Structure formats: C-alpha cells, structure tokens
Chain A
Amino acid sequence: MSPPHSSAALLSGWGRTAPSGAELVRPLGLGELRTTLDDAPTRGVIARGLGRSYGDAAQNAGGRVIDTTSVDDVAWFDAERGHIKVAAGASLDELMRHLVPRGWFVPVSPGTRFVTVGGAVASDIHGKNHHRVGSWCDHVSELTLLTPADGQVTVGPDRDPDLFWATAGGMGLTGVILDATVTLTPIETSRLLVDTDRTANLDEVMALMESGDAAYPYSVAWIDLVATGSALGRSVLTRGRFARRHELTGSAARDPLAYSPQVVAGVPPVVPSGLLNRASIRAFNEFWYRKAPARRRDEVQEIPRFWHPLDLVRDWNRLYGARGVVQWQCVVPLEAGGALRRIIAGLAEARCPSFLSVLKRFGPANPGPLSFPGPGWTLSLDIPAMVSGLGPLLDRLDLEVVEVGGRIYLAKDSRLRPELVGDMYPRLDEWRAVRDRADPNGVLRSDLSRRLGLC
C-alpha cells in the first residue's frame, strides 16, 4: 500500500536555515500512520511533528517525511492517577487545554507548547524543572513504536528498556513513534507564584541558582550575552511553583484552574533580513534587563506568561528574515563553571548578538544514550544565521564544551562538526547497536543523521 496524501515539500527546521526537498506524507489516523514505512524510498523515512526543532532533525532530503500532526487522539485518560495515553502527533498545547482545567499539567514543558508528544520523546525534551524531575522520557511509562525490523512494538523502562532508552532522545531514528503513555503532574491551580531576581553578573546568578534552585520546582535565568566587563552574564532569574488553591484571591480564586492561552500577534511571511541585528538585539537585551524588578516575591503569573511567552507571537522565527536563526545549546558539568564563564565571555567578546539566551542548572541524566540533559549548566542561545564569523565562533565554543566533557543538544543543532558527536555522546556506539537491531537496513534517516553520520 502506498503512503497516503503525499506531496513534494521543501522543509526546514524552526531556524529556517537549511531547507531540503522531500516527499511529505500526511496520514490521517493511526491506521494510515502504520503504513508509512511500507515501500520506503531508498533515501529513507523520518517522522516530523510541528517542526520546532531548530535544525534539520525532522527533514529528510530526497526521502520521505511523515507529518504526524493529524494523528493526535487521546486513547485514554485516567483522571484519578494522572496517566494519559496519547498519539504521537498531539501537541502539548492540545494536552494542556485538555488537562489544566482538570487539575493536571504536563510533567515537562519546553519554552513552547507547540511541540508534539512524538517530538518530545524523540528529543527527550526538558524544561524549567529538570533539576527536580528530569526530562520528558523520565515520565513516559510506555511507548508504541513502528520499527522497520519488527513492525509495531511496545517498549518502556521495564519492557525492552534498551530500545525505549535509545528512543528517548533518539531523534526519531529508532522507529516511528505512534503513541506514548505519560505520567502527569497534579496541580491545584493554573497560576504560579514566581520569584524574580535580577543579578548584576554571572557569578551572582550562578550562586543564586546553586544555593536556591532546590527550593523551587521551576527555575530558569534569562542571561544578557551582550553585556561585558563587570556586567558580564548579568541575568534575570525567575523561579516559581504552582500556587495552592488557598493562595489565590479575587477572580483567580473563583476559577483556579482557568486556562485560555492566546496568540496575540503574528509575523508576516516576509521580513527583511537584518531586522534583528547587533544594535536591535543589544537594545532589546538592555530593555529586558532594565524592565525586570531587582527582587520580587510571590508574583502570580499564568502558565503562558511563565512558560511560553514566545507563543504569544505566532511564527516569531520569521523575525530573523529569510536567512533564519541558529540555536546553540550546550551542557557543561557542574564543576566546569570556568568553561561556562569562558564561553559566555567569548560570546560577549565576539559581540555575538543573541536575542534570547537562557541559563539553567540540570539535574541527573536518565539512561538514554543520546538524551541531552545531564548534571550541569545548560546555556542556550539564538543568533541570526547571517552574523558573519558565526560558524568559526560556534566551532570554537564546541571545543570548549567537549574539553570539559559537555555536549550540545542535537534537537537544536544545525552545524556541528560530525567528528565531535562521538566525544559529546560517548555512548553513541551503544545507541547505534540498538538502532541497528530496530532498523537493520537504515530505513530511518534524516538530514541530521546524514550530516552528523549518526547512523
């Protein structure tokens, strides 16, 4: 049976940097999704969700790409125990709309809610609570996968754990994810109590996070990478927790689980390249830092403001113009604070304009060989791709990261030197062995896997 609803498409990641052409198929349900590995073209197949990976993880030049977003059913929801079994194409946005009014929240949320459950597994995504609860796949009890070797299989931490953990952060290369069973987080209200601290420099924010993060379920710092000298690494640290019911007052108390996220603006399809440049990014960073309170406690915030401020603007990636944006996210071990300082100083010195830079402390890693998070400091940047000298600069930063035993996040990568992947992910061969069992003929391929020689 040939795949349903196929067309030629030019696909890129959220960074819009390196588009490639593929046959895009759009199955309308689980039944059709199960046929998408049939008659696989020689250049292979990869699944794609909402295309929020910045790089080339969900594109497959000259091959087939499966758009899973129409396969989004909830198979069942246990409102007592907080478990949900949901199809891979469902978005976290849909899940939250369903769950929050019922007193449950996703266990992990990234900075956007427009990611799919399948993508969350394939990238083993993390959020502001990694230091307390780990990453997405730590909360998945079961996955259904479609593998080239064995067709439909069910895996979990206690059922073929090798394949389960190879799939966690496996970038979709171990099988097409059909559905996931996820353990949710109970909430009494949809509001957060947020503490904000503005710090004068990097040392101050790192010290605050080291000493205080454990007390907060959610913690992240926005960092100004344009500031130099004694202000190097100045930051706005926001930490919070869900409010208890009795802590709300006024209208919030009358409807404690209200949840209605909005999109307030869009960006037109064509934006002149260069709108976000050194000057405008410097000005934004200055404004953002100044507008934050020096210290504020127990501010009541709604979920979208705390987690997903960028989701207020649809297609915000278009602000970077046709040349797009490069994201770079690394993690370095906790004891390698010096390397973190060197990286941040290097970026500031190169006058590298990063619009939204984020610093966070990760907790322990899970068993996934390609899962990104691990104990350490993670720094993420986004830089207009048109910035000259960006390639060599990021190559130098990669070496700093490898030097101290860190790595960069594959879901965001679009330009890493392939020879560094093995150093960053020392269990790559172990992952390859599991992948070869699930996909002995290399049907599952992506631009990312080819560019980095993952398999």
Chain B
Amino acid sequence: MATVRDAVGGVQSVLVLGGGSDLALATVRRMVADRCHTVVLAARHPDRLEGELAALRGAGAATAESVSFDADDVTSHQKVVDDVFARHGDIDLVLLAFGVLGDQDNFDHDPVAAAAAATTNFVGGVSAGLAVAGQLRAQGHGTLVVFSSVAGVRVRADNLVYGATKAGLDGFASGLSDRLAGTGARVMVVRPGFVHSKMTDGMDPAPFATTPEAVADAVLDGLRRGSEVVWAPPALRLVFGVLRLVPRPVWRRLSAR
C-alpha cells in the first residue's frame, strides 16, 4: 500500500524540516513536477531559499513558502510544526532532512562541538519527529520521511559522531514507525550512502556514491511501494547486510579511509 493518500504515491503537500537540504530539495522538485501544490521549507536561514521557492512556483507549486526553523531549539519545534499544519491543512508528507556532518578530527578535541552536532542531528530529530507524528496521527494519514544514513548502520571510526547520531535517529524513526502502526500515519526511513552534495563538498566519494536526484527517485519509489526503509542506491541494502556482520577487526580495516 502506498504511504500517502494517493494510491500510486502521489503527494499534494509537503513540509521539509531542513529546507536547505539538497536531498530534500531534489525530492520536492520531483513531487512538484508531478502534482504537489503546496511546499513549505522550514530552515535556519529561510531568506536564502527565495530562489528555490521561486523555481518551485515556476514549476507549478501554487504555494511555496519558507518558515524559520532552528533544529537546535527543541522548545520551538512543536509550534513551528503546528503553525504549518494550521495554515495549510493536510500535509501528505514531511521530510525530516536537517543534520550536520562535522569533522571527526575536530570532534576528537572538541567534545562540546560534538555534543552540538548530536543535538542537531539526534535530539532535534526526536523533538521535531514527535511534533510531526502528533499532527499526522490527528489527521489520520501522512508520512514522515526521515533521512538517516548508512553511516548509522554500522558506525565508522573516522565518522564516529555523525554515524552515532544517525544510528540514534534511525532507531528512533524505526520505533516511531511501529508506534504509529494502525493510525494511518507512517514513517519511512531513508538510508543514503555517500551523496555528492553541499554537505560532502570537497570530500573523497565513498564506493556506491550517488546524487541527490537518485536519492529523490529512491524516496518516490519507496512512497509508491509503501516501503518502511529505503536504501540509496538500493544495492547498499545488500552491501550493509554483509558489512553489519563482518568481525570488528575486518570492519576496522574496511572502514578506514
């Protein structure tokens, strides 16, 4: 069964938490090209999204707006989410797409910075995710898409903090999915591999590197199929099925960059 109201995965309205995310924006562009008429981008710097909003309107979105959203300010999440649902009515899809990558070498010497990254990626995800879940439960339908990462499937030494935050977020999202069973609201977890994007600019690509557009296609395909977990590219599901099981010494060698 498709996860949104439309039998073939069509989405009419979408809210993005982390509206600057390349992955989320690629997904939203695909949806607007289909039948999505309402887009709300919630971001730390909404003013920087004017060009993107204009492009979405040009592509057919009747409503495209940005709102201010600070992933670190967990006390504000409920209000931001409630306001969007109150002003736009039903929201078919919410993309939880904010997060910071950080540099593990810095984190090693700066536990405070590491904790800040954990707050953004995990704590913020929990707070925003629950605020969204409450709204979806009340409207009786809708899907929360949580952008996790393969980095959280098995945490790597050189990406330790980021991986751990994604592992936490992934576990939270999977549990929330079960928590919402039977309410009409659903959660889909997306686990991309290395994606060429703003976040990874200047980094050496990992094997199975992909693009935001390919991730967007995987998200849309997952919505159509009613998937609970989506891997991008799909081959990573098998790859990590194996990597999850290899002994620790082998994993240390394999994951060293």
Instruction: Determine if B1 and A324 form an interchain contact, defined as CB atoms under 8 angstroms apart.
Output: yes
Contact of B8 with A326 in the complex, beta carbons under 8 Å: yes
B226 at interface, CB cutoff 8 A: yes
Q: Are B7 and A61 in contact (CB under 8 A)?
A: no
A22 cross-chain contacts in B, Cβ below 8 A = 140, 184
From 198 to 247 in chain B, residues with beta carbon under 8 angstroms from any chain A beta carbon are: 221, 224-226
Q: Does A20 contact B (CB under 8 A)?
A: yes
- B252: interface (CB < 8 Å): no
Assuming the contacts A55-B7, A326-B7, A418-B12, asked whether A17 and B141 have C-beta atoms less than 8 A apart, the reply is no
Distance in Å from the Cβ of A294 to the closest Cβ of chain B? 37
Whether a CB of chain A sits under 8 angstroms from the CB of B4 is yes
Instruction: Name the distance in Å between B140's Cβ and chain A's nearest Cβ.
Output: 3
Task: Chain B residues near A447: list those with CB within 8 A.
Answer: 5, 141
- Are A62 and B7 within 8 A (Cβ)? no
Contacts of A386 in B (CB 8 A): 225
Question: A415, B182: Cβ atoms under 8 Å?
Answer: no
Residues on A with C-beta less than 8 A from B6 are 18, 391, 414-415, 451
Q: Write the nearest CB–CB distance from B94 to chain A, whole angstroms.
A: 15
Verify B8–A21 contact, CB threshold 8 A. Answer: no
Chain A residues with CB under 8 Å of B1's CB are 12, 16-19, 322-324, 385
The proximity string for A residues 401-423 relative to B, scoring 1 for CB distances below 8 Å and 0 otherwise, is 00000000000001101100000
Chain B positions 1-44 with a Cβ under 8 Å from a chain A Cβ? 1-2, 4-10, 12, 34-35
Q: Return the CB mask of A1-30 against B: 1 if under 8 Å, else 0.
A: 000000010101001111111100000000
Q: How near does chain B come to A375, taking the closest CB pair, in angstroms?
A: 29
Report the contact-size class of chain A (Cβ under 8 Å from the partner): 35 or more
Measured between beta carbons, the chain B residues less than 8 angstroms from A324 are 1, 7
- Interface on chain B toward A: helix, strand, loop, or mixed SS? loop
Complex Cα spacing A26 to B2, Å: 27
Would you call A17 and B7 a contact (CB within 8 A)?
yes
Q: Are B10 and A391 touching (Cβ within 8 A)? A: yes
Q: Contact between B184 and A394 (Cβ–Cβ < 8 Å)?
A: no
Which A383-406 residues have a C-beta within 8 angstroms of B? 385-386, 388, 390-391, 394
Given A323-B225, A417-B35, A43-B5 contact (CB < 8 Å):
no
Q: How far is the CB of B39 from chain A (nearest CB, A)?
A: 16
Interface assignment of B57: CB less than 8 Å from any CB of chain A: no
A21 touching B182, Cβ below 8 Å: yes
Complex-state Cα separation, A418 to B90, whole angstroms: 15
Residue B76, interface by CB 8 Å: no
Q: Mark B122-147, 1 if CB is under 8 A from A, else 0.
A: 00000000000000011111000000
Interface string of A49-76 (1 = CB under 8 A from B): 0000001100011110000000000000
| A61 interface neighbour in B184, B224, B226, Cβ under 8 Å | B184
Asked if A394 meets B35 with Cβ closer than 8 Å, knowing A19-B184, A21-B182, the reply is no
B197 at the interface (CB under 8 A from A): no
Task: Give the residues in chain B near A98, CB-CB below 8 Å.
Answer: none
- Of chain A, the residue at the smallest CB distance from B221 is A388
Contacting pair B2 A17 (CB below 8 A): yes
Q: In the assembled complex, which residues on chain A have CB atoms less than 8 Å from the CB atom of B8?
A: 17, 326, 385, 390-391, 394, 414-415
- Cβ of B34: which chain A residues have Cβ within 8 Å of it? 391
B117 at the interface (CB under 8 A from A): no
Measured CB to CB, the nearest residue on chain B to A393 is B8
CB atoms of A62 and B138 under 8 A apart: yes
Most A C-beta atoms less than 10 A away, residue of B4, B7, B184? B7
Q: Which residues of B contact A305 (CB under 8 A)?
A: none
Give Cα A417–Cα B33 distance, bound, in whole angstroms. 12
Report B203 CB to chain A, min CB distance, Å.
Answer: 33
Asked if B75 is at the interface of the complex by the 8 Å CB criterion, the answer is no
Q: Does residue B63 face the partner (Cβ distance < 8 Å to A)?
A: no
CA of A451 to CA of B182 in the docked complex: distance in angstroms? 21
On whether the beta carbons of B139 and A62 are closer than 8 Å, the reply is: yes
Docked Cα-Cα span, A61 to B8, in Å, equals: 18
Chain A residues, Cβ within 8 Å of B4: 18
Residue from the list A15, A62, A322, A415 in contact with B140, Cβ < 8 A: A62
Q: Produce 1/0 per residue, A86-125, CB < 8 A to B.
A: 0000000000000000000000000000000000000000
List, sorted by A's number, 16 A–B pairs whose CB atoms are closer than 8 Å.
A10-B184, A16-B1, A18-B2, A19-B1, A19-B184, A20-B141, A43-B140, A61-B139, A61-B140, A322-B226, A385-B2, A385-B7, A390-B8, A391-B6, A415-B10, A447-B141
Q: Which 10 A-B pairs rank lowest in CB-CB distance, beginning with the nearest? A: A61-B140, A21-B184, A62-B140, A414-B7, A17-B7, A391-B8, A61-B141, A20-B184, A21-B140, A20-B141
